[in-house]
Structure formats: structure tokens, C-alpha cells
Amino acid sequence: MGKTILVLTKKHNYPIIIDFNLFDTPLPLPFLKKGDSVMIVTNQIIFSLYFKKISTLLNNMGVRINHVILPDGEKYKTLITVNIIFTSLLQNLHSRDTTLIALGGGVIGDITGFAASSYQRGVKFIQIPTTLLSQVDSSIGGKTAVNHILGKNMIGSFYQPNIVIINLSCLYTLSKREFSAGMAEIIKYSILFDKKFFSWLENNINKLFNLDKNSLIYCISKCCNLKAKIIYEDEYEQNKRSLLNLGHTYGHAIESELGYGKWLHGEAVSVGIVIASLTSKKLNLLNNQDIIRIINLLKKCYLPIKGPINMNTKHYLKHIYRDKKINKNKIRVILPIKIGKAIIYNNISEKIISHAINENKNFIF
């Protein structure tokens, strides 16, 4: 039933293993051998759910294990938290041949990957994502980062994992809100690249929320395949990989303005997708019928479609001008032009952006 997808990159290739009950059998880690050292990075909730199983599997391999428990939440995705990992690695005498294991959602994965890229100039690391959003998106592709008070993911590096282990059984312990947040990234992929997948989502949302095994494996492997293809074509986001930021320019502005963690990343991206669609409509690039389909699919997933009531254009623009996608002070956004296709739109005007934000606030959905 499970799937294995190979991610091809310039420095090394690595597999994504997707299946249920992956913590009940030996972990597929051929690069770890008896006597090796690992540091598991997690948070308290995930520690209580999965640490015992993971540590037992590693102990059976004869691997030396340490762990560090980080505070939970986007607001802790900072350099201060990364330093907690560095301190623990040094206190426990971990050398350059150690391996970090990110056991958790997107925050844990981003922080651990960034620490792995920096500790003694780079050590191996493993992604074991436990949320839907991290399984379909953030654990794959080597984007690692922490936030700054002035901008999201502004301090980071491209650093690929050695393997991604997606245990779909983790979704059984996920809250409905977290599951919905992950659906925003899944919908993003379908809008960008695959109209048939978008139609499949329209017809199978209930199966996904009911955790139907076949539907989950199909959906998550589909997203992983789409992302692996983009990484192969543009690992360092020089061109096509930028498309994966659909909804993120506006979404990151929401997260930064409200304070990290007030809205989940997927919730902010959902609104960002709507505003990007309205931006595209204003430029006569996207028809109203496709916008309605996009909005209805987001609503089916219990995702927000309107931005925070207390945010106006000035709030958005303040953060947009600090966004990584800004080039020579010119705003660049990702715009859908039809379901299944999007473009990178350079040098968009503040007037168009303001119109889309205001339409989002006033639109009757």
C-alpha cells in the first residue's frame, strides 16, 4: 500500500517513505550503524506520543540517542531556540558524524534542519513529519529557517535531509484544525499544477477528513511527487520553485502582523490564496468561476477565506516589502491564471494589491 518517492538534488538524492504504521517496524535508515549518535529534536506533545517507539527502534539498531524537547509553537521558531539544540549537542559531545532527527511538525522540521545545516558546518538529518502540512510540504525540499520579529523565515538555508519518513498513522492524533491547515498546502499544489487533482479533491474531501487510507496515500504521495519534480528542476528557488509560494506573500503578512502562532500557517496561506486569486482577477488573468471553485474548496476544508478584520492594506504592505520575494523593491507575487496553472508576476503595483485586499475584506462569499 505504501509509496516511496525519490527526491533528486545536486548534492545527494533521498527517499520519501510514505505508509501507515512505520513506527512499528525497523526504520529504513541504512546510513545509521551500530555505535552512531543521533539527537532527536521534538516538542513535549510529540515526545509523549512517539518518542518511546522511535527510541526503541533506534536502540535496537545499537544507536546512541540523546533528545532535546523544544517549546511548542511558531513563536518559538527563533535563533534562541536553535541555540538550545546547539547547547544540547555540545553538552552531549556530538561530533560532525552525528545525525539530527526532526520529530514533529513544520516548526520542528524547520528549526532542526537549520541547526543541522549549521552545527559543525553541517551534519546529517532526518525528517519525520507528524502533521499533514509538514508531510506534504515543509519536510521536503530542504528549506530550513527561523523567524525574525520583522519577518517570517528570514534566517535560514537550503539544506536537504537524508530521508523523509512519513508515517500516516500520525494523522490519527492530529486535531481537525491542524488537518485543515495541511489541506491548504494540498489545495495549493492542485491550483498550481494539476486541475484533475483539484477535481479529485472536490470529490474526495470527506474521505480525507475521515482518514480513508487509500485516499490519504494517493493525496499525500501526489503532493510529494509534485514537489519532488519542482525541486529537481529548481532546487534553490531561482525560478519555478517560487510558484510554491502561492498564497504565501499575503499569508506571511498575516502571520507576521498578528504574531507568530495566532493563525496556523495553513490558515494564513488559505486567505493568501484567495487574495492572490482576487489579484489575478483584477488583472483579468483568472475567471470568476475558477475563483468560486477555489473558495468553495477551501471552505469545504473549514479554512478561513477572509483576512483578519483588524488588518488593512498598510498592514499587509508593511510586511510584503520585507518578504524574500521582493526584488529591487519590486513586489513579486504568484498568481493563478486558471485551475492547474499559475505564473510569477513581477513588479505588481500597490494599487492592484490594495484592491485585492479590500475586495477580500468586502467580498460576500
User: 262 an active-site residue?
Assistant: no
The CA R_g of the chain, rounded to the nearest whole Å, is 20
Q: How far apart are CA 123 and CA 209, in angstroms?
A: 37
**Annotated catalytic, 267?**
no
Query: How far is Cα 62 from Cα 30, in angstroms, rounded to an integer?
Result: 13
Q: Kindly name the residue from 10, 121, 314, 328 that is annotated as catalytic.
A: 121
Among 94, 222, 248, 324, the one annotated catalytic: 248
Catalytic residue (choose from 75, 229, 241, 262): 241
Strand 163-167: give its sheet, edge to edge. Answer: 3-7, 14-19, 163-167, 124-129, 99-104, 37-43, 64-70
* Active-site residue, from 124, 265, 319, 325: 265
Catalytic-role residue among 147, 162, 245, 360: 245
**143 is a catalytic site residue:** yes
What is the distance between the alpha carbons of residues 331 and 342, in angstroms, rounded to a whole number?
17
Q: For the residues of 183-223, what is the DSSP string, one character each?
A: HHHHHHHHHHH-HHHHHHHHHHHHHHHTT-HHHHHHHHHHH
What ranges make up the beta strands (E) of the chain?
Answer: 3-7, 14-19, 37-43, 64-70, 99-104, 124-129, 143-148, 151-158, 163-167, 333-338, 341-345
Helix (H, G, I), strand (E, B) or coil at 102: strand
Residue 248 a catalytic site member: yes
Candidate list 252, 293, 315, 325, residue with the active-site label:
252
List 74, 178, 185, 255, catalytic entry: 185
Catalytic residue among 94, 143, 188, 222: 143
Q: Exactly one of 237, 255, 257, 267 is catalytic; name it.
A: 237
Residue 98 to residue 101: CA distance in whole angstroms: 10
CA atoms within 13 A on the CB side of 158: 12
Whether 227 sits among the annotated catalytic residues: the reply is: yes
Residue 126 bridge partners (DSSP): 101, 163
Judge whether 67 counts as a catalytic residue: no
Q: Active-site residue 241, yes or no?
A: yes
φ and ψ of 276, to 5 deg: -60, -40
Q: Is 252 assigned a catalytic role? A: yes
Query: What H or E segment, with its residue span, contains residue 351?
Result: helix 350-362
* Residues taking part in catalysis: 121, 143, 185, 227, 237, 241, 245, 248, 252, 265
